[in-house]
Structure 1
Amino acid sequence: MQTPTPDSVYPSLEHLVQLRALARGFRLRPHMPLHNILLGQHAARMRGRGLDFEELRHYRPGDDVRYMDWKVTRRLGKPHIRVYNEERERPTILALDLRVSMFFGSRKSMKSVVAAEAAALLGWYSLSVGDRVGAVLATDPDIRHFVPRRSTAHVNFILANICEQARQLEVGTPPDAGRLNQMLTRLQHLARHDAQVCVISDFHGADTETAALLQAIARHNDLLLVFVFDPLELHLPQEARLPVTDGRVQISVDGRSSALREKYEAAFNSRLQRARDLLLGWGVPVLALSTERPAAQQLRAILRQR
């Protein structure tokens, strides 16, 4: 385990604002082939930005015949083509999980820090392409939401709230089992149609209701899921005495026990399989981010402009 630094335990607003420069190379492509050690090879499709009808005009040599308006052409006796422009903006809504299960990390950063970095990068990217940016933040005490707006000040305001909520995380806080689904319910009301929706979470406690809510959101929006994990959740270290605490009680476990290691890894694999079954079966992109590296390095490797 690496020695923690202040920015690795709690996100800082200065750092999240500085990530704006690193978001310029991102690109959410209509076809996103995702290769991930956790989630396997998964080719997902996103709608991408749509097209707005601009005008109807005479056909010119070199125009794309796929946009020929045959009804008008027959009626007027001359070839006419429909001209479209790419949509100028649409809402992007960031749904960020800041429950106590995210306040964990055995490598470079806490899961909550990686999640905050991912939210900042996706938010800055969306603003750079002219989209409005909104957010839903879930903590164990409550849920906050921010209607989409297109301004640097608004993104800064969202990031400041993320930092404020993340700094209230502490070991020993009683978890709220239903908070994830409550966040998604709020998100469903905020993202009614044609939005880019990014859900960033460790999906701890996800169930069939979680899947139903995500499917309902994906039906009318572009949905991107960011699964945040820590390597310690994958494998238990082979050490004689491992201290384990929930913030109130501490015990020691024997990491050399093969039976214990098998149960530990089976529990995480079961959770991962539920994620595959609930989420990947219907074509939603899932990006997995580890606490081992900054979110910018990992997202740039996946979303960099080619």
Structure 2
Amino acid sequence: MNNEPFPKNVFVSLNDLIKMERVSQSFSLLANKQRVKSILGGKHASKLRGRGLDFEEVRNYVPGDDVRNIDWKVTARTQKTHLRIFTEEKEKPVLIIVDQTKSMFFGSQHKTKSVVAAELAAIVAFKVAKEGDRVGGIVFGDNGVDAVLPKRNRKNILLFFEKLVKRNRELKDSNPEGFELGIKRVFERIRNIITHDYLIFIIGDFHRYSEEVIKHISYMSVHNDVVLAKVYDSLERELIPVKYVGGDGKNQLLINGLEKKIKNKFQKGFDNDYLKFEAEMKKHRIPIFKINTVEDVSHQIKNIFKGS
């Protein structure tokens, strides 16, 4: 029996989050052009590389263009004058919002959702810092909200991690508040922090895709780029192939996980709810991707942003 007060993979430690720096060095949040459009393609030209010029495309030369930007290799190959086009990049402060409410305190095989969310937040924070942009974070739990304003130094990242660990460990004794109320309190807290041209990562299980949640998230995206990461456990999508009793603390239900029809209906319900939410977010040009609690986070994130 494990007598640790905060066993590994159930809870997260500061040391666990610092180790994520190694993972952040092995992929790019930008990846290739097609992938950027599908994951991080927001309304602004700037992404996560900091300041400078970002290569965009090669096009035919038009009289009046700057001859210094002629792509001589393409010109020689095609026998037509081509130009390299660049877009100017601006600084884009990054704010990472992490859900550490009670619904995140669940994991059926390897890690809890709350641990995976914290690890993902650490990977993103280190990657953004490496690219030279300011990074900060907000952690919301059942007992409150902590905000760390975006800055460009390692001390600030570690402060954010400390808030993450604190809220994560409170899950042991906290009373459920719920994502809806949590995101509302976050929104009230950050409306004076984010102005425009921020990149906002929201990491959580989005346990219920309520209209209130959609309203707050879409409002954030009006003048900022927003990316959602949904953390889920396999048991939330696939029933265990046995007969068992499930409950929510108030009601109980006998579930026959052996019956194929019930299993398929359960899985279809999860997938349809997600696709509906994804479609709703797409209306606001907000990309979303999924991270599960079973596979290694580093492998998943590299696959999502592959092409680096």
TM-score by length of 1: 0.77
How far apart in 1 are the matches of 2:172 and 2:270? 23
Match of 2:215 among 212, 217, 220: 212
* Two-structure CA RMSD over aligned residues (Å): 3.4
* Deviation digits for residues 48-93 of structure 1 (CA, Å, limit 9, x no counterpart): 338679xxxxx9974238xxxxxxxxxxxxxxxxx98643x43110
Q: How far off is 1:266 after superposition?
A: 5.1
Corresponding residue of 1:63? 68
Match of 2:41 among 42, 45, 61: 45
Residue type at the aligned position of 2:18 = V
Q: How far off is 1:113 after superposition?
A: 0.7
Match of 2:154 among 152, 155, 175: 152
How far apart in 2 are the matches of 1:32 and 1:199? 22
Residue type at the aligned position of 1:162 = L
State, as a whole percentage, how many aligned pairs show the same letter. Answer: 24
Q: How far off is 1:31 after superposition?
A: 4.5
TM-score by length of 2: 0.76
Q: 1:61 to 1:207 in 2, by over 3 A?
A: closer
Q: 1:115 to 1:84 in 2, by over 3 A?
A: closer
* Deviation digits for residues 8-33 of structure 1 (CA, Å, limit 9, x no counterpart): 10111111101112212332338453
Match of 2:204 among 201, 204, 211: 201
Match of 2:182 among 179, 203, 215: 179
Comparing 291-300 and 187-196, the one that deviates more = 187-196
SS of residue in 2 equivalent to 1:191: coil
* Deviation digits for residues 106-147 of structure 1 (CA, Å, limit 9, x no counterpart): 121111111001100000001101111111111122111111
Comparing 185-194 and 250-259, the one that deviates more = 250-259
Q: List runs of 5+ in structure 2 lacking aligned partners.
A: 1-5, 54-63, 71-85
Q: 1:191 to 1:174 in 2, by over 3 A?
A: same
Corresponding residue of 1:13? 14
Q: How does 1:76-91 map to 2 (within 5 A)?
A: 86-87=89-90, 89-91=91-93
Q: List runs of 5+ in structure 1 lacking aligned partners.
A: 35-40, 54-58, 66-82
How far apart in 2 are the matches of 1:294 and 1:302? 13
SS of residue in 1 equivalent to 2:9: helix
Q: Is the 8 A contact 1:23 1:125 kept in 2?
A: yes
Match of 2:94 among 92, 95, 99: 92
Q: How far off is 1:230 after superposition?
A: 0.8
Residue type at the aligned position of 1:209 = E
SS of residue in 2 equivalent to 1:33: helix
Q: How does 1:256-267 map to 2 (within 5 A)?
A: 256-257=258-259, 260-261=262-263, 264-265=266-267, 267=269
Q: How far off is 1:301 after superposition?
A: 1.7
Q: How far off is 1:243 after superposition?
A: 4.5
SS of residue in 1 equivalent to 2:106: coil
